[in-house]
Amino acid sequence: DIQMTQSPASLSASLGETVTIECLASEDIYSNLAWYQQKPGKSPQLLIYYANSLNDGVPSRFSGSGSGTQYSLKINSLQSEDVSIYFCQQNYDSPYTFGAGTKLELK
Amino acid sequence: QVQLKETGPGLVQPTQTLSITCTVSGFSLTSYYMQWVRQTPGKGLEWMGFIRSGGSTEYNSEFKSRLSISRDTSKNQVFLKMNSLKTEDTGVYYCARITTVGVMDAWGQGASVTVSS
């Protein structure tokens, strides 16, 4: 199975800051990487697919990058509504594994 | 408007079978793959399996021996059945629609399941 290692596990940032979350795959996943946002008490929602493609309706302050085994999610100009847990998932090979999540809080 | 909604039993006894129904609207099950994902305190988010638009299935080998995914296209419903439940199966079970690029673009609100005697 492909292991997805996400870092940091938690993150505290101020409004307007830029934050970056990393995801490391245990083998090359050829950009088959998605990012999901899960707000408290809600189901996950798709933010980014294929490493850097923004899902419809997602604010442009979210961006994804990376290739091979290393990927990142960047949030520019942090807003209060961005308080969430963020997960990466590889959809390259079954089983389609998730990272453990990054909990983003406001400072 | 695309909608998905899971309905399940809430509480299941150990060794029993879990059955959850996902009712969808706003799209056709014959056009999309549908997936089940669960979120447990012990393992976080886990991909369980999916049913293709043509009706064939693929499962995570972790669950393969006790998991079954099926559907009724006439009722716009997808079903999850998992037997031999253990307390570690306690969590929230989500159905989700899969896009052509293999990611989940629509999710249900989740069915909370507690396995306890």
| Interface touch B107/A43, C-beta < 8 Å | yes
Instruction: Please list every residue in chain B whose beta carbon sits closer than 8 Å to the beta carbon of residue A36.
Output: 104
Measure the CA–CA gap between A1 and B32, rounded to whole angstroms. 25
pLDDT tens, residue order, chain A (107 aa): 999 999 999 999 999 999 999 999 999 999 999 999 999 999 999 999 999 999 999 999 999 999 999 999 999 999 999 999 999 999 999 999 999 999 999 99
**Residue A91 · residue A30 · CB < 8 Å:** no
Contact B93, B113 (CB under 8 A): yes
Sort out which chain A residues have CB atoms less than 8 A from B99's CB and list them: 49
CB A1 within 8 A of CB A96: no
pLDDT one-digit tens code per residue, B87-101: 999 999 999 999 988
- Based on DSSP, count helices (H) and strands (E) in chain A, helices before strands: 0, 10
**Longest CA pairwise span in chain A (Å):** 38
